[in-house]
Amino acid sequence: MTILLIDQTDAWQHLSTLQASDGERRYYLAAAPFRALLVCRAGLRLADLRGQAVDALLGWDRGDPGFARTPGQTQTKITIFGRARGAPARRLSAVLRDAPQDMKEIDASH
């Protein structure tokens, strides 16, 4: 686990909310061109976490249809389990900057 500072939330769009055994899970997709999925577990809402430290797991996801900008393409996956105590090791904005990007989205913006 990593302690992550939620320093920005405006780059994320709420995708869906699903029920799970641990409560609601909210799924957010990063704005183009970034390929990243963020999951808030236990009923947490991303907007409510701004400015707070959270326990998070950082990894990769295969880009399942309905949960990816580009299905089938590897994307960064951030799973938030709850609020944390202690100093953050990283910022959410830095994790997003390191996420894979869709080249066609980058080319279209230039």
Quote the number of domains for the chain.
1
Facing residues of 69 across strands? none
In terms of phi and psi (left: phi > 0; alpha: psi -120 to 50; beta: otherwise), the region of 63 is left
- List the pLDDT tens digit at each of the 110 positions of the chain: 899 999 999 999 999 999 998 889 999 999 999 999 999 999 999 999 999 999 999 999 999 999 999 999 999 999 999 999 999 999 999 999 999 999 865 555 54
Q: For position 49, what pLDDT does the model report?
A: 98
pLDDT of residue 75: 97
**Cβ atoms of 4 and 79 closer than 8 Å:** no
Q: Is position 109 within any domain?
A: no
Cβ contact 15:67 at 8 Å = yes
Whole-number pLDDT of residue 109: 56
Range of the domain at 76: 2-103
In this prediction, residue 33 carries a pLDDT of: 95
- Please report whether residue 91 resides in a domain: yes
Q: Does the residue 72 lie in any domain?
A: yes
- List CB contacts of 52: < 8 A, sequence separation 6 or more: 5, 6, 83
The answer to whether residue 12 sits within a structural domain is yes
